[in-house]
């Protein structure tokens, strides 16, 4: 891994600016193939310049003083380069030139933007969403430290290359708590959050130009994973030796029959369960993620689980329907449950919500408008994603039916043929 910049200084004549046989001397600063030139405010006869060595030629006192002056400039520029190295700042020819001219670049930094965004959005974003921004900030910090050897970066230094380099870093990064690098859509979500923060900087006039202007996010379409009726039944009927797995199974099954997300199940309180207009018990709450009101009639399978845990000491202590368990532990235990039930799917708690939408409701003829309301969707198009999945299942079922009908037709034709042969023999 490359961590050190290549740096060089060479003095050159600007022959295009020759006047009366003399040309101005410039110091050419090169850093990693990038370069800029600055005037040293000295001129020399073109014939007295050694192009190869980048210095004046001759032995006169004037030539000696000029070469000594150029070496002082070289030493000064080298000192500015070393300052940037110590500061772990972005080392560019322009940064060295600015130090030489005494230009101090001021402005907001990326870390300041992130802190401002997270502080200002604290009241507007739900904790689950804000937590994701903190995760993105952590990856930005790691990228700056490990790939740029810096602690921070000015917003004015953000460019297209920064974005693409950050994308490449995310794709190759292997977190200690994951076995595989993050997928494409996870990478895009981090970049999407960075883009939203950068857009805020543009609106705040902290940044003149949006570095994301030429960058496009590329999300891959993924099928919504859900359990089939057979898979759901296998989990429901399975009895585990470890009590923690039985409890996680119960929470998951409850979500399969209510469509609630993890945080909404965790926050579900006894006062959220009331009698509805049809005499059934209903869950009446609002989604933590969007604050959208949700009203769900409680199916018998879900009611049995509510009754089972309503007097649990941990539930009573917290004032919730179910004892508390972290989402991380929940998903970890669901992996064990999938293995023990021989289900070859990446089982997560959110799959329960997808299962409610597909296997439990839409597949059984519940109108999509009703499903959308129970899921707390504000847009019917969001629910239609599940309807497309159900259409695929219907198509598969009809293909199987067509095959059965075809086999039946062949069998009937064969029987008629046999009858004809018997009749001819008699």
Domain match, 374 and 235 both: yes
Confidence band, pLDDT 50/70/90 cuts, at residue 2? very low
pLDDT above 80 for 27: yes
C-beta of residue 173 within 8 angstroms of C-beta of residue 139: yes
Q: Could you tell me if residue 254 is inside a domain?
A: yes
C-beta of residue 309 within 8 angstroms of C-beta of residue 320: no
Domain match, 163 and 303 both: no
- Two tokens at 306? 């509510």
C-beta of residue 163 within 8 angstroms of C-beta of residue 212: yes
CATH code at 346? 1.10.443.10
pLDDT at 1: 40
The helix, strand and coil proportions of the chain, stated in percent and rounded to the nearest 5, come to 55, 10, 30
Summarize pLDDT for 131-188 with one digit per residue, the tens. Answer: 899 999 999 999 999 888 888 888 988 999 999 999 999 999 876 654 567 889 999 9
Using DSSP's 3-state secondary structure scheme, residue 273 falls into strand
Q: Could you tell me if residue 391 is inside a domain?
A: no
pLDDT above 90 for 103: no
**Listed range (193-207, 246-260, 394-408) with the worst mean pLDDT:** 394-408
Q: Could you tell me if residue 197 is inside a domain?
A: yes
Query: What's 113-155 look like in SS3?
Result: HHHHHHHHCCCCCCHHHHHHHHHHHHHHHHHHHHHCCCCCCEH
Domain match, 263 and 378 both: yes
What's this model's pTM, rounded to 2 decimal places? 0.57
pLDDT at 244: 93
Q: For residue 271, what are the domain limits? A: 229-385
Domain match, 159 and 77 both: no
Exposure of 289 by Cβ count < 10 A (0-12 exposed, 13-18 middle, 19+ buried)? middle
Confidence band, pLDDT 50/70/90 cuts, at residue 284? very high
Q: Could you tell me if residue 406 is inside a domain?
A: no
Number of domains in the chain: 3
CA gap 30, 81 in Å, rounded: 11
CA gap 47, 22 in Å, rounded: 8
Element (H, E) at 230: helix 229-237
Bridge partners of 77, per DSSP, are none
Q: Could you tell me if residue 209 is inside a domain?
A: no
Summarize pLDDT for 122-147 with one digit per residue, the tens. Answer: 667 777 788 899 999 999 999 999 88
Domain match, 267 and 340 both: yes
């Amino acid at each position: 891994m490359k961590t050190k910049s290549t740096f060089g200084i060479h003095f050159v004549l600007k022959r295009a600016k020759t006047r009366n046989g003399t040309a101005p001397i410039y110091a050419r600063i090169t850093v990693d193939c990038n370069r800029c030139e600055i005037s040293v405010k000295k001129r020399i006869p073109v014939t007295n310049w050694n192009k190869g060595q980048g210095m004046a030629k001759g032995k006169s006192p004037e030539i000696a003083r000029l070469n000594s002056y150029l070496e002082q400039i070289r030493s000064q520029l080298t000192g500015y380069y070393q300052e940037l190295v110590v500061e772990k700042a972005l080392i560019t020819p322009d940064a060295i030139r600015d130090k030489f001219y005494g230009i101090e670049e001021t402005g907001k930094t990326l870390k300041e933007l992130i802190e401002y965004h997270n502080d200002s959005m604290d009241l507007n974003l739900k904790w689950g969403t804000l937590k994701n921004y903190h995760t993105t900030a952590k990856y930005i910090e790691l990228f700056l430290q490990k790939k740029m050897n810096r602690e921070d970066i000015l917003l004015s230094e953000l460019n297209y290359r920064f974005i693409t380099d950050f994308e490449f870093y995310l794709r190759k990064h292997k977190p200690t708590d994951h076995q595989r690098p993050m997928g494409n859509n996870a990478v895009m979500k981090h970049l999407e959050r960075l883009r939203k923060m950068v857009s805020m900087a543009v609106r705040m006039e902290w940044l003149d130009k949006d570095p994301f202007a030429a960058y496009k996010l590329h999300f891959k379409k993924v099928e919504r994973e859900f359990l089939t009726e057979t898979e759901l039944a296998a989990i429901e009927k399975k009895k585990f030796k470890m009590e923690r797995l039985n409890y996680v199974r119960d929470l998951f099954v409850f979500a399969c029959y209510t469509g609630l997300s993890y945080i909404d199940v965790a926050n579900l309180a006894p006062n959220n369960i009331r009698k509805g207009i049809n005499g059934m018990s209903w869950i009446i709450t609002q989604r933590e993620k969007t604050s959208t009101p949700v009203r769900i009639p409680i199916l018998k399978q879900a009611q049995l689980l509510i009754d089972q845990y309503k007097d649990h000491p941990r539930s009573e202590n917290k004032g919730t329907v179910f004892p508390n368990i972290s989402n991380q532990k929940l998903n970890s235990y669901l992996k064990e449950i999938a293995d023990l039930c021989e289900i070859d799917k990446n089982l997560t708690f959110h799959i329960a919500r997808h299962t409610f939408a597909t296997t439990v409701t839409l597949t059984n003829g519940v109108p999509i408008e009703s499903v959308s309301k129970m899921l707390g969707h504000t847009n019917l198009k969001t629910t239609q994603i599940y309807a497309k999945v159900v259409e695929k299942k219907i198509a598969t079922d009809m293909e199987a039916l067509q095959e059965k009908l075809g086999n039946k037709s062949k069998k009937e034709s064969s029987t008629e043929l046999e009858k004809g042969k018997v009749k001819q023999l008699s």
